[in-house]
Amino acid sequence: MGGRIVGRDFTDDIDECCEAIVGHRNWAFAQTQSPDQMVEYKKTDAIAHTVIFFNEPAEDEEEE
């Protein structure tokens, strides 16, 4: 993970990580702190991204 491969972006790595942890690729970017905390973090650029791994696969993923 982390290496740059032509035609691959960082979301491919998140897909693999999600699948390794919960067995599917249903994830999303999110803000998980309170709005006040996020404002403070944003002021200092402390957070780049927050990712949620859902417990259940996406409906379209269940069919695969």
pLDDT band at 56 (very low <50, low <70, confident <90, very high): very high
Over residues 38-63, the mean pLDDT reads: 82
Cβ-contact 11, 27 below 8 angstroms: no
pLDDT band at 5 (very low <50, low <70, confident <90, very high): low
Note the maximum CA span of the chain: 43
Cβ-contact 11, 29 below 8 angstroms: no
7-29 tens-digit pLDDT? 778 999 999 999 999 999 999 88
| Own/partner pairs, 45-49, CB within 8 angstroms, 24+ separation | none
Q: What angle do CA 9, 11, 16 make, to 5 degrees?
A: 110
